[in-house]
Amino acid sequence: MMGWIAAAVIAILGAFGIFVALRARGVASAESDALRNEMQSLLAAQSQATAAQISQLAQSLTAQLGQVSQQVQSGMASVGTIATSAQKAVSEQLQASTQMLTSVHRQIGEMQQAGHELSVAAKQIEDFLSTAIAGCSIRARNAARIFLRLCACTPNPSPKNTFCRGKKRSISP
């Protein structure tokens, strides 16, 4: 009998061991399920946080790109305004220069005309005086010749060396 009791105790202990092992396995399985659920919820929370950060980053980039686009458009408008202003200023300067050159050209023409008229007047005076000299006394003729020579001569800076039409001027009759 003792053999049976020992076998029964061993069987009970074996069953109890199996029961404890199965129970431990069930507890481990429950803990594993709880751990898995916790990890899944943490992963879901982390995914949501990452998605929110990506969304905020996309919104920030969109806003910044909009600002950059506005600044580029504003800059292009400013460049166009500056270029137009510069073209207008250059055009005005060219017009003013053209008017000034036209005025200078007209003044040069007027000076040439006045020089020509002066030359004609000097020739007429010379002709008149030459004619008048022919009918005058020798003294008056000499004075008129001296006057004509003085009018036709351009003196050098030195009064000793003056030339009339390439010849040395002499004031003697």
pLDDT digits (tens, 9 = 90+) for 19-39: 777 666 665 666 667 777 877
Residue 70 is assigned to a structural domain of this protein: yes
The total number of structural domains that make up the chain? 1
DSSP bridge partners of 163: 154, 168
Tokens (6 digits) for 46: 């982390």
Residue 142 is assigned to a structural domain of this protein: no
| Structural domain harbouring 15 | 2-96
- The pLDDT of 14-18, averaged and rounded, is 73
Residue 128 is assigned to a structural domain of this protein: no
Tokens (6 digits) for 88: 């207008």
Residue 35 is assigned to a structural domain of this protein: yes
Residue 111 is assigned to a structural domain of this protein: no
State what percent of residues in the chain have pLDDT above 70: 69
Residue 133 is assigned to a structural domain of this protein: no
Residue 145 is assigned to a structural domain of this protein: no
153, 157, 162, 166 alpha-carbon torsion, rounded to 10°: -70
Per-residue pLDDT reduced to its tens digit, 23-80: 666 656 666 677 778 778 877 888 888 888 888 988 998 999 889 888 888 888 888 8
Average pLDDT, the chain: 76
